[in-house]
Amino acid sequence: MGRKVFIAAFMAIFIITACTIQNDPDLLIGKWKLETAVQGIRELEFLEDGTVFFRIDENEVGPSNFVINDKDILYIDGPVGKIVGDEHKYRVSSDRLTLIYRDDTRLNFTRESD
């Protein structure tokens, strides 16, 4: 009986923790490759100074600025396609980034190694 209670308590703590984990904005810093190019956009590179560069086809475009608010919303300000000038929910881990549009369209990126 004691073991079942322990396992149930552990699972409850794990679920609560998993549901409340926040994105770590520091994980955005670096180069990201889009899994499937959209409007020619192939890569993003977020820099520590709050700027982001885009690789569109074979051209580097930028800088644009990015801001993260306290609700896990990423705002990219600049002249580059659908990604820019709108707010996006985002999810980031050490190796994956997903930008989520208001219509629930998702752009999935993987981190590029240097």
Q: What is the mean pLDDT of the chain?
A: 74
CA dihedral 55, 60, 65, 71 (to 10 degrees): 10
Q: Which domains does the chain have, with CATH numbers?
A: 24-111 (2.40.128.270)
Predicted local confidence at residue 71, as pLDDT = 63
Which residue in 56, 9, 63, 17 sits closest to 34, CA to CA? 56
Spatial CA neighbour of 40 closest among 58, 22, 23: 58
> Six-digit token pair at 17?
């923790």
Give the pTM: 0.69
| Spatial distance between the Cα atoms of 66 and 87, rounded to a whole number of angstroms | 10
- CB of 29 closer than 8 Å to CB of 46: yes
Q: Is residue 22 very low, low, confident or very high in pLDDT (cuts 50, 70, 90)?
A: low
Supply the pLDDT for residue 9: 43
Is 33 or 9 the better-scoring residue by pLDDT? 33
Segment 21-27 shows an average pLDDT of 71
pLDDT tens by residue, 84-106:
556 778 888 989 999 888 788 88
Residue 48 in contact with residue 39, Cβ under 8 Å? no
Cβ 66 vs Cβ 74: under 8 Å: yes
The residue with greater pLDDT, 8 or 63, is 63
